[in-house]
């Protein structure tokens, strides 16, 4: 990958289980829009996934499946040689294929990060819960590896869901701290968060974000059949009253369903409110409409998803790593030079 005049975006998803519509609506769909304008790098962050225990067989399956999800969402990457293949706009690669990520993470651990930085991370507190003393050291150190991912590529913007904002802010702190102590190497990255959909909430509890680590009833997996998805929507909790109105404070559940409906159909929320007022006699009718739209989306998505072969995906990852490795190694070289190691 040669350095171009385009600005660079970098983002990633962990191959640690089922991806859901929150991942798609909050993050991946935004990457698809941005890839025309930016030099775009999307990573499958397997070393982040192993911060909690993974079944080896499932992990190797999940790594390929995340790539298929990226591609089915509309990220175009590959070797460009497939007949009828869309032109390549982005690079997709697997984090562990480029060892500069873990090397830089170690260097940042020592030369930039402080224990007090990590003690502020709210996601660690949420994920570790009562087990704070027993979780892996990697889970605690996870944001430093994420900073390394971002800083290796002169990243201008990091498009993520809202839950990752604090981690990107830490990457900014570390970049500045290293630059001021050792001389400028890193670009200070910005964070890009969508206005709508940055936080899709759980179907069974609109006070919590939709998450793959919660019960399957709480999320719509991108691999759920339209039938299963419809059942989950019909069972989703609702608010008191009858109105189908977007009001996050007083109607969090209906607002979440309206957000999903709007993002899936591309229709404005205000227009959907009017349409539903006219056509629905209650929450049941409204949910049927959401389920129908979601079903159509999932059917198209899964057709694409199932069209990719494992070998094709392996090739994409291999090519991707070859493209980004020289860029990562160049940054790492400069860092080591500043430290006096090289
Ligand atoms: P993860 O599944 O934690 O690897 O997250 C992958 C991407 O999806 C990140 O950019 C997250 O911020 C985003 N994301 C995860 N859950 C949600 C959600 N419920 N709503 C919006 N974005 C989300
Ligand atoms: N921590 C992110 C998540 O769980 C995934 C991630 C790892 C990432 N490295 C990154 C996202 C670099 C953006 C940039 O969602």
- For residue 82, what pLDDT is reported? 52
- For residue 86, what pLDDT is reported? 60
Closest C-alpha to 105, from 334, 332, 333, 283: 332
DSSP string computed for 304-323: HHTT--HHHHHHHHHHHHHH
End-to-end CA distance of the chain: 24
For residue 209, indicate whether it is catalytic.
yes
Spacing, Cα 299 to ligand 2 middle (Å): 27
Please enumerate in sequence order all residues whose Cβ is within 8 A of that of 42, keeping only pairs 6 or more positions apart, or say none: 10, 11, 12, 31, 70, 75, 77, 90, 91, 92, 93
- List the catalytic residue out of 68, 209, 232, 289: 209
Spacing, Cα 184 to ligand 1 middle (Å): 31
Does ligand 2 come within 6 angstroms of the Cβ of 220? no
- Give the residue extent of every domain in the chain: 8-197+309-339, 216-303
Does ligand 1 come within 6 angstroms of the Cβ of 161? yes
- For residue 233, what pLDDT is reported? 98
Does ligand 2 come within 6 angstroms of the Cβ of 149? yes
For residue 271, indicate whether it is catalytic.
no
- For residue 85, what pLDDT is reported? 54
Q: Which fold has domain 216-303?
A: Tyrosyl-Transfer RNA Synthetase (1.10.240)
Spacing, Cα 163 to ligand 1 middle (Å): 7
- For residue 195, what pLDDT is reported? 85
**Nearest ligand to the C-alpha atom of residue 170:** 2
Does ligand 2 come within 6 angstroms of the Cβ of 48? yes
Q: Mean pLDDT in each 10-residue stretch from start to end of the chain (342 residues)?
A: 80 95 95 96 98 97 97 85 66 98 98 98 92 94 98 98 96 98 98 91 96 92 97 96 94 97 96 94 95 98 97 96 98 98 94
Does ligand 1 come within 6 angstroms of the Cβ of 239? no
CATH of 8-197+309-339, one of 3.40.50.620, 3.10.20.30, 3.40.50.150, 3.40.50.300: 3.40.50.620
For residue 127, indicate whether it is catalytic.
yes
**Nearest ligand to the C-alpha atom of residue 198:** 1
Residue closest via CA to ligand 1's atom 5 equals 13
- For residue 80, what pLDDT is reported? 56
Spacing, Cα 27 to ligand 1 middle (Å): 6
pTM equals 0.94
């Amino acid at each position: 990958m040669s350095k171009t005049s385009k600005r660079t975006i970098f983002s990633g998803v962990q191959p640690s289980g089922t991806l859901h519509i929150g991942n798609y609506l909050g993050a991946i769909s935004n990457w698809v829009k941005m890839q025309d304008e930016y030099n775009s790098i999307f990573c499958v962050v397997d070393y982040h996934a192993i911060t909690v225990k993974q079944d080896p067989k499932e992990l190797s399956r999940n790594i390929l499946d995340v790539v298929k999800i990226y591609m089915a969402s509309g990220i175009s990457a590959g070797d460009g040689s497939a007949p009828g293949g869309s032109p390549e706009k982005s690079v997709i690669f697997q984090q562990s294929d480029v060892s500069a990520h873990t090397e830089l993470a170690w260097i940042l651990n020592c030369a930039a990060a402080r224990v007090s930085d990590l003690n502020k991370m709210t996601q660690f507190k949420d994920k570790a819960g009562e087990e704070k003393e027993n979780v892996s050291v990697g889970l605690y150190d996870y944001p430093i590896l994420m900073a390394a991912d971002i800083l290796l590529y002169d990243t201008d913007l990091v498009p993520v869901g809202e839950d990752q904002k604090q981690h990107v802010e830490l990457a900014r702190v570390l970049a500045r701290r290293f630059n001021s102590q050792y001389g400028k190497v890193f670009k200070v990255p910005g964070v890009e968060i969508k206005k709508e959909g940055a936080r899709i909430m759980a179907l069974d509890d609109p006070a919590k974000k939709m998450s793959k680590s919660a019960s399957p009833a709480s999320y719509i997996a991108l691999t759920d059949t339209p039938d299963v998805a419809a059942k989950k929507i019909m069972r989703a909790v609702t608010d008191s009253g009858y109105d189908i109105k977007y009001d996050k404070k007083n109607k969090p559940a209906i607002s979440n369903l309206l957000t999903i409906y709007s993002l899936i159909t591309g229709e404005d929320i205000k227009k959907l409110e009017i349409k539903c007022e006219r056509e629905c006699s209650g929450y049941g009718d409204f949910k049927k409409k959401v389920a129908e739209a979601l079903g159509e989306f999932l059917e198209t998505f899964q057709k694409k998803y199932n069209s990719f072969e494992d070998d094709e995906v392996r090739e994409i990852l291999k090519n991707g790593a070859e493209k980004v490795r020289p860029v990562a190694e160049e940054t790492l070289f400069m860092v080591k030079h500043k430290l006096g190691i090289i």
